[in-house]
Amino acid sequence: MYHFIVNPKSSSGKGIRFWWAVKSELDHKNITYNAYFTRYVGHASEIAEQICNKTLEIKNIVVLGGDGTLNEVINGIPDFNDVLLGYIPSGSSNDLARSLGILKDPLKSLERILKPTNFKYLDLGIINFIDTDQAPRKFCCSSGIGYDANVCMEVQQSPLKKKLNRFGAGKFIYLAIAIKQLIGIKHLDGTVMVDGMKKDTYKNILLVSNMIHKYEGGGLLMAPNADPSDGKLSICLVHGLSRGKIALLLPTILFGKHIYFKGVEAFHCSEIEIKASQTSAVHTDGEVPAVCSHIKVSCIPGQIRMIL
Ligand SMILES: Nc1ncnc2c1ncn2[C@@H]1O[C@H](COP(=O)(O)OP(=O)(O)OP(=O)(O)O)[C@@H](O)[C@H]1O
């Protein structure tokens, strides 16, 4: 039995269009399934939790949606040992699918799920928002504090994303807002601890990205050396750059070449703690659950069993 969790609104309606194609293939093949449609923010977590709590056997959960829906599902699963996860990307950024080479064509990705040949145990990220009451959140692709999270927050609030999604150009909104935010850029000062040891105290931190996979923000190669099964976070810490240098740096992220800039530190670790003296947006898989100044991020190796 397959449990499909579908965000019909992902990428301004691509989700429902993909679902009709998938449904007709499932019916044609006489495959038994349950389909659940998300209706509001947080609903995918509730659905995933209900599916997991219903039976003790292994659950085949297939997510049809974007990175945000996948993030919600991950946050609803109480025990990953009981779950086999499939993913049909229908979002506007699809960074996880891009990193894993999951096919964009819904029928081709469905075929792989129905006849699996390859599984992968993927690392899971957990973030604690230490100076807020917000509960910890899991993430499967990326999290970050600073500039990238501020961009995510504005993208989330922008009505333009929906309009651009209709033309298949939703991810360009990230680029447009990233350029716009250069003008009033907000830096952070703070101390960074890595695997329990103080790394340094920094002035003018632009961002700290804590990556499980290589991509974020709709195709930015933020962590070109990330391996989603190595049990480590791939960190990109950018600090001490003038606005002009940041403007030069941004396009190089598309090709993962930013890591060679002075002021960019790229390294791997199991845990990172950032204590800043100002608050900032914090994102998990492109959604912004908190605005705070003190976070602790850890990597749990090989938690998510995913069909590729
Ligand atoms: N029926 C719904 N109406 C409005 N929002 C929804 C609905 N169902 C889910 N959501 C919310 O929409 C958010 C974004 O959805 P999703 O990630 O699937 O699509 P996307 O934003 O187009 O893609 P991406 O995250 O890859 O950019 C989810 O995090 C979820 O909270």
Ligand 1 centroid, distance to 110 Cα (angstroms): 20
Q: State the Cα–Cα distance between residues 31 and 2, nearest whole angstrom.
A: 8
Task: Please state which CATH class domain 124-299 belongs to.
Answer: mainly beta
Residue 72 CA: which ligand 1 atom is closest?
29
Task: Please state which CATH class domain 2-117 belongs to.
Answer: alpha beta
Read off the pLDDT of residues 213-257 as tens digits, 9 standing for 90 and up: 999 988 899 999 999 999 999 999 999 999 999 999 999 999 999
Sorted by where each begins, the domain ranges of the chain are 2-117, 124-299
Q: State the Cα–Cα distance between residues 62 and 45, nearest whole angstrom.
A: 13
Residue 11 CA: which ligand 1 atom is closest?
22
Read off the pLDDT of residues 119-167 as tens digits, 9 standing for 90 and up: 999 999 999 999 999 999 999 999 999 999 999 999 888 877 667 666 6
DSSP string, 162-209: HHHHTTT-TTHHHHHHHHHHTTT---EEEEEEETTEEEEEEEEEEEEE
Ligand 1 atom 12, closest CA: 41
